[in-house]
Chains A and B, each alone.
Chain A
Amino acid sequence: QSVLTQPPSVSGAPGQRVTISCTGSSSNIGSIYDVHWYQQLPGTAPKLLIYGNNNRPSGVPDRFSGSKSGTSASLAITGLQAEDEADYYCQSYDSSLSGSVFGGGTKLTVL
């Protein structure tokens, strides 16, 4: 069981908007620690999608955005495309564990 909780799956039609939630606690997201998001396409290494709650690395489309409030964070994807079908993971730091923690991952299906 992961320290950060994500829905196992979400889906949406092309062009739609979907959101993926990531729920933590006062020792991680609810504290001073940032949330980061990763995209993992089948058979490949994870790719950084969002860092510092809401910042996109160079090359990541602005269809991807992140937010954080209280003990939760969210990843939003607008204008859904077939190539967005992947697994998505949130990550933060946990002061109780003295280390990084990942969510369990969310599989995005583009209908």
Chain B
Amino acid sequence: EVQLVESGGGLVQPGGSLRLSCAASGFTFTNYYMHWVRQAPGKGLVWVSRISGGGSSTNYADSVKGRFTISRDNAKNTLYLQISSLRGEDTAVYYCARERSTGGDALDIWGQGAMVSVSS
């Protein structure tokens, strides 16, 4: 079964750091671009970041540039998001998602989400 499972969420103080993980299974992980998307409580989806299959190319939303780092370990079939200098507005459910191999940047497989709460 094709699956993505996030972990690493939790409660963090403002200015703190956290690393989210996304374990992939059921497909050849290295063949796919991967994304992070977040959703603040009661709000809409916001794209965060994207990484190429080999990991050499990355893109970020302006709101997280310089604070978030996307990476992947293809040997472990795992995607990461290192988030630092956390602010209250970073409070959200963070989803990892797989980009379709064809059809533009459509995201065809999503994880269940990891909640990150930023509060003192």
A and B are interacting partners = yes
Contacts of A89 in B (CB 8 A): 44-45
Cross-interface CB contact of B47 among A33, A51, A99, cutoff 8 Å: A99
Q: Is B11 an interface residue (CB 8 A)?
A: no
Cross-interface CB contact of A103 among B35, B44, B49, B113, cutoff 8 Å: B44
Over the window 30-47 of chain A, the binary record of Cβ atoms lying under 8 Å from chain B Cβ atoms (1 yes, 0 no) is: 000110101010000111
> B-side binding surface: helix, strand, loop or mixed?
strand
How many residues does chain B have at the interface if contact means C-beta atoms less than 8 Å apart? Answer: 24
Bound Cα distance from A97 to B111, whole angstroms: 25
Q: 22 pairs across A/B with beta carbons < 8 Å?
A: A34-B104, A34-B105, A38-B45, A40-B45, A45-B111, A46-B37, A46-B95, A46-B107, A51-B100, A51-B104, A52-B106, A89-B44, A91-B47, A91-B107, A93-B104, A93-B105, A97-B61, A100-B105, A101-B47, A102-B37, A104-B44, A105-B44
